[in-house]
Amino acid sequence: MRTFAHALVPVLVVLAGCQEHSPTKRDVTRPAVKESANFVDITEQTELHFDYQNGREAGLYAILESLGGGCAVLDYDRDNQLDVFAPGGGGFVDQMLIVGRDSFLCRGRPGLRFEPVAEVARCATSKHYSHGCAVADSDNDGFADILMTGYGGLQFYHNLGDGTFEEVAAESQLVDSQWSSSAGWGDLNGDGLPDLYVCHYANWSFDNNPVCAGSGPDRRDVCPPREFEALNDTLYENNGDGTFSNSSQAAGLVPGGKGLGVVLADFDHDFDTDIYVANDTTPNFLYQNDGTGKLTEIGVASGTALDERGAPTGSMGTAVGDFDSDGLTDLWVTNFEMETFGLYRNRGQCQFQHISRDSGVNAIGSKFVGFGTATEDFDVDGDLDIAVSNGHVICYPNDGNAEQLPVYLENQGKGIFRKIDPGKDGQYFYRKHVGRGLATGDFDKDGKIDLVFTHLNSAGCILHNETVTTGRSMRVELIGTRSNRDGLGARILLETSAGSQIRHLAGGGSYLSQSESAVTFGVAAGIECKKVTVIWPKSGLEQSIPIAESDCIITFKESDGVRNSVHE
């Protein structure tokens, strides 16, 4: 565990509030016994509607149909209510034309309500068959911009700050006609501007759509990825003038990969942003940043490229977090069926150990085809739990159903997990879905993280976290001034009487999805909070604030402070 040896001079901290944020006071009565997480599907009453269609009715069995779509949780209009953006997918016309389907933007309203505003906000129309989205304030103007991936090209919605967007992919030189899946933002070269990593999948096209055997009515199904060649990922450097440059080669990206998920975080704790890419059926990449944006791929050497047998996996979603509370950022990867989800424990110096088998993760079974994932302290007990959205990629799996149950793994402490089914029988975690995207956000600011799931060919869902808990939470929001405005890459440390919790504000993560950019800590009952510290990514500034109580929201604005000389 890294300690902060030097005393810190308190710096300007904008304390936006340190009060109870629970509009409905659901957690007033706190039982003495810890309850497991409980999520309630509130999609209907919130009037949140978005869905993803993949065009399977054309009967093409194209692998393009299997990726699905994600979603983003953001506050695009800065009204302090979280909104939801979701790509709509696409379809096929006459088996020779691929078309995009309208996207969704649902504006959050007080009282957990949503209204569709995509048309008004001018981000509905999709020129391409869409999949994923990644959100960041790319120009540090205080408003979240949206990048949408898909087949045929990227679409980049620049937030004009007046509740509308302008699609500027071409103007921004984000011209990328390759089939893209997930994308993630992060400041790789330390210039205070978020750069963009875009995963590309495979060389499918109408001309390269082989017939693959399956167990369906016409004995055909979607082809496995090995039928296709991998496409190279792309790194776009933010030029700071609204344009981007393709810096893949200069940065040192390696070819291939079949990338489906990406997360940008500081894995070696050297205060720059590294990149982890979840690749489908090929070894995953871990790019170590030398601090200038020059990347070295160390996946195999670091132990993060392969599973415990040294075999590549069909990786889709990914997330980071300190699951065993040792102060180091661990890695979580969702994989294909007959494999296990990957939990890689960070042993320091960019060396990881695959510990799925020894952490109870394997006990969930190997039937799941895992996609979107989120790691948060959902039950507010001071450690990170995991949620996963599952669903098959082929139309006719062996067990006859592409729908699968979502998975919730409760951290039993020190990174040992147990699968539980949150909520009551008949609720979301008990129902099967063809799950894909997953994003998180605290929609009602009650200190408990809610979930948004996307599904293939059906409507998405929002789950309200109604866990009854004796724990308290603390939400930390960041406003970068020298660093990127979102604070991507920042490290946040909460010191308590029971030890420290560390979080990284990572870019990307999950699968085709983007969670809100705040960090929420859970603090178990009886634990006293002592101090919150933020270390900013570009300036290296540390800002701390002593804090005695939790159940509050703290906003840190990057400002002059003391540069800590013991970062290394």
Partner 1 sequence: MSEIQFDISRALKLTPKRWARRRIWIWWIAVICTGIFVFWAGGGVGRTLDAAIANSISRRDYEQAEGWLRFCENLGCSTPETLLLKARLFRKQLKISEVPELLVAADAAGVNRARIRIEYLLLEAQTGRIRHVAEQLNALLQQGGEDGAEICEAYVNGAMMIGATEVAMTILPVWKQEYPQDPQPYYAMARILEYQQNIPDAIRELETANSKDSRHWPSRYALARILYGENRIEEAQQQLEIATQMQSNAAPLLLKAKCLRALGQLQEAHSALAPFATLDRNTVLESFSIVGEPERGYPIEYELGTLEAALGNHAEARRLLEKVLQNDPNHLDARYARALSLRDLGESKLAETELAEVHRIRTVLTEIDRLVDDINKSPAEPHLEARCRIGELFLKYENARRGVFWLQEALNKDPSYRPAHKLLADYYDSLKVREPEYAALADRHRKAADGPAELPPEAGVKP
Report the phi/psi class of residue 59: left, alpha or beta, with left for phi > 0 and alpha for psi in -120 to 50. left
Q: Which stretch binds partner 1 (CB under 8 A): 171-179, 219-227, 228-236, 422-430?
A: 219-227
Residue in this structure with the two tokens 């004995």, named with its chain if needed: 219
Residue 420 in contact with partner 1, rule: CB under 8 A: no
Distance in Å, CB of 76 to partner 1, minimum: 41
Q: DSSP labels for 476-507?
A: EEEE-SSS-TT-TT-EEEEEETTEEEEEE--E
Question: What is the Cα 155 distance to its own chain's centre?
Answer: 19
The span from the CA of 528 to the CA of 547, in Å, is: 9
Residue 358 in contact with partner 1, rule: CB under 8 A: yes
Strand order across the 499-504 sheet: 499-504, 491-496, 529-535, 541-546, 562-563
Residue 7 in contact with partner 1, rule: CB under 8 A: no
Distance in Å, CB of 566 to partner 1, minimum: 25
Q: Which of 260, 364, 502, 554 binds partner 1 (CB under 8 A)?
A: 364
Residue in this structure with the two tokens 């150990």, named with its chain if needed: 353
Looking at the Cβ atoms of 152 and 257, the one nearer to partner 1 is: 257
Distance in Å, CB of 227 to partner 1, minimum: 7
Looking at the Cβ atoms of 36 and 359, the one nearer to partner 1 is: 359
Residue 363 in contact with partner 1, rule: CB under 8 A: yes
**Hey, what are 348's tokens?**
């320091």
Residue 366 in contact with partner 1, rule: CB under 8 A: yes
Of the candidates 160, 161, 131, 164, the residue with the CA atom closest to the CA atom of residue 147: 131
Distance set, CA 320 to CA 79, 154, 220, 385 (Å): 28, 26, 37, 11
- How big is the chain by its Cα radius of gyration, in Å? 22
**Interacting residues with partner 1 between 148 and 207 (CB under 8 A):** none
**Hey, what are 527's tokens?**
């634990």
Q: Which of 66, 81, 359, 473 binds partner 1 (CB under 8 A)?
A: 359
**Interacting residues with partner 1 between 273 and 302 (CB under 8 A):** 281, 283, 300-301
The bridge status of strand 541-546 relative to strand 529-535 is: antiparallel
| Beta carbons within 8 Å of 542's beta carbon, 6+ residues apart | 4, 8, 533, 534, 535, 536, 561, 562, 563, 564
Biggest CA pair distance of the chain: 70
Distance in Å, CB of 151 to partner 1, minimum: 24
The span from the CA of 274 to the CA of 290, in Å, is: 9
Distance in Å, CB of 312 to partner 1, minimum: 7
Q: Which stretch binds partner 1 (CB under 8 A): 30-38, 44-52, 83-91, 360-368?
A: 360-368
**Hey, what are 380's tokens?**
């507010």
Q: Which of 59, 240, 365, 499 binds partner 1 (CB under 8 A)?
A: 365
Residue 306 in contact with partner 1, rule: CB under 8 A: yes
List b or e across 143-161, with b for residues whose CB sees 16 or more CB atoms inside 10 angstroms. Answer: bbbbbbbbbbbbbbbbbee
Distance in Å, CB of 308 to partner 1, minimum: 8
Distance set, CA 145 to CA 76, 123, 133, 260, 405 (Å): 8, 11, 10, 21, 32
Q: Which stretch binds partner 1 (CB under 8 A): 167-175, 350-358, 402-410, 502-510?
A: 350-358
The span from the CA of 520 to the CA of 155, in Å, is: 30
The bridge status of strand 472-479 relative to strand 552-557 is: parallel
Q: Which stretch binds partner 1 (CB under 8 A): 89-97, 304-312, 436-444, 518-526?
A: 304-312
Helix and strand totals (H; E) in the chain: 4, 41
Distance in Å, CB of 273 to partner 1, minimum: 24
**DSSP code at position 510:** B
Binding mask 523-542 for partner 1 (x = CB under 8 A): --------------------
Of the candidates 409, 462, 464, the residue with the CA atom closest to the CA atom of residue 437: 462
**Interacting residues with partner 1 between 429 and 488 (CB under 8 A):** none
**DSSP code at position 417:** E
Looking at the Cβ atoms of 298 and 462, the one nearer to partner 1 is: 298
Q: Which of 212, 420, 525, 562 binds partner 1 (CB under 8 A)?
A: 212
Residue 400 in contact with partner 1, rule: CB under 8 A: no
Distance in Å, CB of 369 to partner 1, minimum: 15
Looking at the Cβ atoms of 305 and 468, the one nearer to partner 1 is: 305
Distance in Å, CB of 24 to partner 1, minimum: 37
The span from the CA of 42 to the CA of 301, in Å, is: 45
The span from the CA of 153 to the CA of 172, in Å, is: 13
How big is the site for partner 1, counted in residues (CB under 8 A)?
35
Distance in Å, CB of 256 to partner 1, minimum: 11
Residue 22 in contact with partner 1, rule: CB under 8 A: no
Q: Which of 6, 30, 78, 357 binds partner 1 (CB under 8 A)?
A: 357
In the three-class reduction of DSSP (H, G, I as helix; E, B as strand; rest coil), residue 402 is classed as coil
Looking at the Cβ atoms of 16 and 212, the one nearer to partner 1 is: 212
Residue 305 in contact with partner 1, rule: CB under 8 A: yes
Cβ atoms 434, 403 nearer than 8 A: yes
Residue 245 in contact with partner 1, rule: CB under 8 A: no
Q: Which of 132, 190, 314, 360 binds partner 1 (CB under 8 A)?
A: 360
Cβ atoms 144, 74 nearer than 8 A: yes
Q: Which of 1, 93, 311, 566 binds partner 1 (CB under 8 A)?
A: 311
Distance in Å, CB of 235 to partner 1, minimum: 23
Residue 308 in contact with partner 1, rule: CB under 8 A: yes
Looking at the Cβ atoms of 306 and 420, the one nearer to partner 1 is: 306
Looking at the Cβ atoms of 59 and 413, the one nearer to partner 1 is: 413
Q: Which of 10, 291, 310, 546 binds partner 1 (CB under 8 A)?
A: 310
Interface positions with partner 1 (CB under 8 A): 211-213, 224, 226-227, 281, 283, 300-301, 303, 305-306, 308-312, 347, 351, 353, 355, 357-360, 362-366, 398, 412, 416-417
